[in-house]
């Protein structure tokens, strides 16, 4: 399942819910189902707002019902939007090998979008390193082959080791 974001709170009194998400707006029409707290909901409407979207779920018809749905919604695999070739979902990165130049440095263990920037956490022999994905960092992006290659100089400048 694909993590969609975080349901924050009810929006208004008609059962709409505020969602914080990094999913590009052009894919909103493809989101037809969400799974949260053991239940699958049909998405009746999803419209963009600053920082995310407002969703209307079938069967969630008032503020109290919307307020009861909190947490992380997921898109079931069979309903995942189809991305363009140069796009990826953050969870697609997990487990991919990371090279700095020609040297393997580890695997991506976490990928997050924080204030509009992707942050990758890479498990290495030196410990975990967090890397903001900035211009010039990624020199080769081959998710279909299971790896990414980072520019050695940029990686050395922006990587922050946690341990």
**Domain ranges across the chain:** 2-79, 90-161
Q: What's the fold here for domain 2-79?
A: Elongation Factor Tu (Ef-tu); domain 3 (2.40.30)
Tokens representing 3 are 């993590």
Architecture of domain 90-161: Roll (2.30)
Residue-wise pLDDT tens for the chain (163 aa)?
888 888 989 999 999 999 988 788 888 999 999 999 889 999 999 999 988 899 999 999 999 999 999 888 999 888 888 888 777 888 889 999 999 988 999 999 999 887 778 899 999 999 999 999 999 999 998 888 999 999 999 998 998 887 6
Q: How does DSSP assign 51-113, residue by residue?
A: TEEEEEETT--SHHHHHT--B--EE-GGGPPPPPTT---GGGGTT-EEEETTEEEEEEEEEEE
How open is the CA angle 8-14-15, to the nearest 5 degrees?
40
């Amino acid at each position: 399942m694909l993590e969609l974001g975080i349901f924050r709170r009810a929006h208004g009194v008609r059962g709409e819910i505020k969602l914080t998400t990094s999913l590009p707006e052009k894919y909103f029409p493809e989101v037809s189902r969400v799974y949260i707290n053991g239940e699958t909901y049909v998405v009746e409407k999803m419209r963009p707002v600053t920082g995310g979207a407002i969703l209307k779920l079938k069967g969630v018809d008032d503020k109290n019902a919307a307020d009861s749905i909190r947490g992380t919604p997921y898109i079931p695999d069979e309903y995942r939007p189809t991305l363009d070739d140069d796009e990826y979902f953050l969870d697609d990165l997990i487990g991919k090998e990371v090279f700095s130049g020609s040297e393997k440095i580890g695997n991506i263990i976490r990928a997050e979008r924080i204030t509009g920037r992707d942050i990758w956490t890479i498990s290495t022999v030196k410990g975990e390193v967090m890397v903001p994905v900035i211009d010039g960092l990624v020199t080769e992006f081959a998710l279909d082959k299971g790896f990414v290659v980072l520019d050695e100089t940029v990686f050395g400048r922006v990587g922050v080791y946690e341990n």
